[in-house]
Chain A
């Protein structure tokens, strides 16, 4: 028996050793992973190339082929200590906006499909949305006829319109207020790039950051009415109007 026991002894201790070293390794690795999780800040206001979905960082392998394919050097990779996913592509419109190439070379270059190949019409791209973030400095809001963002927009009169409103300050002029329409705005950023201010009053933001969402039960009465051709509710009861038939001066005449 003793002889049989001896050879098993080192086996047990080596097994223990293995378990101990494995546990150490697992703990170390877990800590390392935690550090990696905390250290890698993937958040941040990032504008992604056309065709990027909300889950872009789950699909992008950060190979930079879209960056190489971009003919205008719009796309850049996030630097090592940068926010928003090191090595993933993004663009800053105030530096270089997206020129909205019709053949979408960035999407064609993407090997993983992180940029959705089903997007073939660049006008349907949803990279972000332009928002007139500062009405206090926008020259048009101040009553001037700037409108550079409106004119720079590749979807002029669709993505940006100028809404005429009465200038209450002067009392006799018109304000031409730039208004962005999200169903046409791709987020290319030509408006942000062209804004004549030191810091642009109009900026491209990620859509989920910028867009509000109506309550799902909300209906716009005037649209519903147009769809149906008439009012959805029966016409209001039309009571006879009680018009002032008599002037106050002739009040006495009513008196019995």
Chain B
């Protein structure tokens, strides 16, 4: 449970930091997940939102550019989709939906392939070019969720309901097709911190890791093909560490990609 608890602490801390300003008047962080300013010195920008404005024909100011570069440098170090597992509030909702699905013994109404997110990512960028504005940001569940939570908009309830029901019905919910996650996963293919099936010879095929993994396709090769590196190199891995938590044989651990 260690990593799961740490993740929840991380997600809630981020949200609390954003909410401290509007709720308690303590302005450590201003803005939301699309763009923020911490203590007046650290700008952070959602690279996908910024990319859309650039495709739409806007030349961004340096603050936003630096913000995006800092974000990308960070994720290049700790893992691209660390955003998905450790920061994004949608993860909590998707996990809750999945939890209820398991609890009720529901059969998923559908599933999505791991490649669909890249099609969506392409669509988002094409859409920005066609419409000349950051159109996706109107509906982008990731940013809408964070924004409506932080700015106390009723949209939070609708978006949370949508994401929860989606996770209840479709395996992996929104998180498996999210274009924001798709962009970060591209970074993840080159990022430093990885999960590694270091002790894979101890694997007793209990499949507990496949059960909990939000992207089980990333586990197969590093765990089962002894001729390749045990490091889970796929950028689709979110570095959530659930496999480390559940493995009875202590197969997995965080490691450098090398």
Within 8 A of B (CB), among A5-31: 21-22, 25-26, 28-30
Contacts of B154 in A (CB 8 A): 79-80
- Of A30, A36, A37, A113, which contacts B58 at CB under 8 A? A113
Question: Which candidate, A53-61, A91-99, A125-133, A144-152, is the interface stretch facing chain B?
Answer: A53-61
Contacts of A25 in B (CB 8 A): 113, 115-116, 119
- 16 pairs, CB–CB < 8 Å, chain A vs chain B: A25-B116, A26-B119, A36-B136, A37-B131, A37-B135, A55-B56, A61-B50, A61-B52, A61-B137, A62-B32, A63-B36, A80-B148, A80-B153, A80-B158, A81-B158, A86-B155
A17 → chain B closest CB, angstroms: 11
Name the interface size band of chain B.
Answer: 35 or more
| B123 CB–A CB distance under 8 Å | yes
Which A residue's beta carbon lies closest to that of B137?
A62
Size of interface on A: residues with Cβ below 8 Å to B: 41
Question: Which candidate, B139-147, B185-193, B239-247, is the interface stretch facing chain A?
Answer: B139-147
Contacts of B136 in A (CB 8 A): 36
Q: A68-B21, A109-B37 are in contact. Are A58 and B30 (CB under 8 A)?
A: no
Indicate with 1 or 0, residue by residue over A92-127, a CB within 8 angstroms of chain B CB atoms.
000000000000000001111110010000000000
A59 touches B58 (CB 8 A): yes
Indicate with 1 or 0, residue by residue over B27-39, a CB within 8 angstroms of chain A CB atoms.
1001110111100
A39 touches B139 (CB 8 A): yes
Interface residues in chain B, defined as those with a beta carbon under 8 Å from any beta carbon in chain A: 21-22, 27, 30-32, 34-37, 43, 45-46, 49-50, 52-53, 56-61, 63-64, 67, 113, 115-116, 119-120, 122-123, 126-127, 131-139, 143-144, 147-148, 150-151, 153-155, 158-159
- Of A36, A57, A60, which contacts B139 at CB under 8 A? A36
| A42 CB–B CB distance under 8 Å | yes
A63 touches B158 (CB 8 A): no
Which B residue's beta carbon lies closest to that of A31?
B123
Q: Which 8 A-B pairs have the closest CB atoms?
A: A80-B155, A63-B35, A113-B61, A40-B138, A58-B56, A59-B58, A57-B133, A61-B49
Which A residue's beta carbon lies closest to that of B154?
A79
B60 touches A113 (CB 8 A): yes
Q: A61-B35, A80-B154 are in contact. Are A42 and B58 (CB under 8 A)?
A: no
Contacts of A80 in B (CB 8 A): 144, 148, 153-155, 158-159
A219 → chain B closest CB, angstroms: 35
Contacts of A29 in B (CB 8 A): 116, 119-120, 122-123
Q: A61-B46, A80-B159, A111-B67 are in contact. Are A86 and B58 (CB under 8 A)?
A: no
A62 touches B147 (CB 8 A): yes
Indicate with 1 or 0, residue by residue over A54-90, a CB within 8 angstroms of chain B CB atoms.
0101111111110111000000010111000111000
A64 touches B31 (CB 8 A): yes
Q: A22-B115, A60-B53, A63-B34 are in contact. Are A112 and B64 (CB under 8 A)?
A: yes
A114 touches B58 (CB 8 A): yes
